[in-house]
Amino acid sequence: MAEPSFLATGRGKLTLTLLCAVAFLDFIDASIVNVALPAIRSDLDFSVQDLQWVPSGYLLTYGGFMLLGGRLADLLGRRRIVLTGTVVFSLSSVSGGFAQDPAMLIGSRLAQGVGAALMLPGTLSILTTMFKEGKDRNTALGVWGGVAGGASAAGVLLGGLLTDGPGWRWVMLVNVPVCAVVVVGLLLLVEGDRRKARLANFDFLGTVLVTGAMLLLVFTLVKAPDVGWGETRTIGGLGGTAVMLVAFLFNEHRGSNPLLPLSIFRIRGLGAADVAMLVAVAGIASMFFYLSLYMENVLGYSPLKTGSAYLPLCAGVAVAAGAASQLIPRVGSRPLIIGGMLVSGAGVYLLSRIPVDGSYVKDLLPGLLIASIGLGLVFVGLTTAANANVPPDRAGLAAALLNASQQIGGAIGLAIFSAVATGRTNDLLADHRPAPEALTGGFSRALLTSSIFLVAAALVGLRAANSRGEAHDAPVAAAVPEAVPSK
């Protein structure tokens, strides 16, 4: 006899709405400040060099602490860690909203990233463990995928509305009432964590090594376009990251209670799904970044008009994600991943052909609509594949791996494509081309490279699990052996 549908109940619907609200908060804060940057610079007297840390500071700690957040959720309890992260996120939003100088705002953004890193892995693991039945889980992941795919575009839109309306400070303060609702909802809708803390043998060394490696990697990638890829500082940062990661893997192999049990990578297709997410987000994040720059700096759009331009993309992602949740039981996650990547790549390729005197309807809208369909399929497919066959006591860690891949992919993409765009623009300026033409040429080259990354992600997706969201996924995962403690 089939278990009754939790999602069909009012409590189930409210729970899914709550969990997606947490995800929306975390995802949207990576992009909501972008259109507010000119106002922030003017109001707080930022230098051009320091201004980049308003968006980058969030990504730095978000990606750096993600694995720690996921493991703490598994060890200490998911609701407890999500609540802690939400409080940190809310307090840092208040601090940022009332910031009086650059240091205070950057510090607030760093703290926001820590809060988000505690919130997101636990939230996704709550979703994958509460919605166990095939249809319920597919629908829940479909909604989650739609939120993940559309949040970046929604962030640009909301950022424009707030900046042109009550002012840039509200891109931070708007989080506070949402966080209050989230805290109340978690206490009312999500069951409390019954087990006691298990930190007696917590992997402190592994935590220091992996968090330090992720922080150094993201910092190096963020600074590389300005410092130079061939400079000692960049090479040293990448080398230091590699050394710490090797030391981390050695520590995890020998440890009795590792932060990242390496046995999790024996779950079929999990590693491929994470790598595909990293490569895909590298291209997707760059698409939003360079299209926004093109609309504002070349076409002369206002922040509000730039944000509004993404409305069709948000709608397309939502529709495609809903369709993907219905397709998962029929075709599985792998065809959605591969097909979605190729469709997205085709849309971004169309966008790479932008002219200096571009028209929204002719030159932007077709590519945005095509890309939106692919994005909805990709995020649902990858989220499903990355959580297939994962046992409940590893759900937070699996969620952390997927979301760390997403954040690091965004940082890698912006670093690589900034070098691509800047190099092309400088070449055109050296050839005495007008500034708008040179900028457009750089943006176009970056978007073309983004489309290539999406095709590459489709190839990686061939190795991802082809999950149909079956209810028997979890028992299979339970058979995955633990890491053998060292003698």
Q: What is the pLDDT of residues 337-352, one digit of tens each?
A: 999 999 999 999 999 9
C-alpha distances out from residue 43 to 53, 98, 145, 412, Å? 16, 12, 36, 30
Q: Given pLDDT bands bounded at 50, 70 and 90, which one contains residue 212? A: confident
Q: Tell me, what's the pLDDT at 475?
A: 36
Nearest to 376, CA basis, from 307, 332, 450, 316: 316
Q: Which residue has the tokens 């994040």?
A: 285
Asked which of 11-15, 21-25, 33-37, 145-149 is least confident by mean pLDDT, the reply is: 145-149
Nearest to 382, CA basis, from 436, 284, 451, 458: 458
Handedness of CA 268, 269, 271, 274 (dihedral sign): negative
C-alpha distances out from residue 88 to 42, 168, 199, 265, 307, Å? 27, 21, 21, 31, 28
- Name the amino acid, one letter, at 360: Y
Angle, vertex CA 375, rays to CA 14 and CA 304, nearest 5: 80
Q: In whole angstroms, what is the distance from residue 270 CA to residue 386 CA?
A: 5
Q: In whole angstroms, what is the distance from residue 154 CA to residue 387 CA?
A: 26
Asked which of 124-133, 183-192, 238-247, 439-448 is least confident by mean pLDDT, the reply is: 124-133
Considering only residues 380 and 347, tell me which one the structure prediction assigns the higher pLDDT: 347
Q: Which residues contact 70 (CB under 8 A, 6 or more apart)?
A: 121, 122, 125, 396, 397, 398, 399, 400, 401, 403
Handedness of CA 259, 265, 270, 276 (dihedral sign): positive
- Is pLDDT above 70 for 112? yes
Q: In whole angstroms, what is the distance from residue 341 CA to residue 25 CA?
A: 25
Q: Given pLDDT bands bounded at 50, 70 and 90, which one contains residue 476? A: very low
Q: Tell me, what's the pLDDT at 42?
A: 86
Q: What percent of the chain has pLDDT over 90?
A: 38
- Is pLDDT above 80 for 1? no
- Is pLDDT above 90 for 386? no
